Amino acid sequence: MINLNGVTVTRNKKDILKTISWKVEKGQHWSILGLNGSGKTTLLNVINGYLHPVSGQAEILGESLGNIYIPDLRKRIGLIVLLFNNRFKILKVF
């Protein structure tokens, strides 16, 4: 479902994500936790196709970013964001 291999995202000459590799299989549930500024939103923006990595490969739902029309891909992505006491985010991509 999600396959990131060596993904790096750079903004203003600073690596926000650096060589991230992560695989999510069908039926799995993940939570993304981290401090402010640790790259959680950037990671989700890559998965949703809002950001493209400067290096590495991002494959979402069997489609490689850069080889698919993003609006069509977004129609197949669901994301749930829950906030608890404004301290933690629990995210589910299906």
pLDDT tens figures, 5-51: 999 999 999 999 999 999 999 999 888 888 888 999 999 999 988 89
Residue located via tokens 């039926």: 27
CA 58 to chain centre: 9
CB count in 10 Å sphere of residue 59: 16
* Cβ atoms < 10 Å from Cβ of 4: 22
pLDDT of residue 83: 62
Residue pair 21/3 in contact (Cβ under 8 Å)? The answer is: no
Model's pTM, two decimal places? 0.78
> Reduced to 3 states, what is the DSSP secondary structure of residue 14?
strand
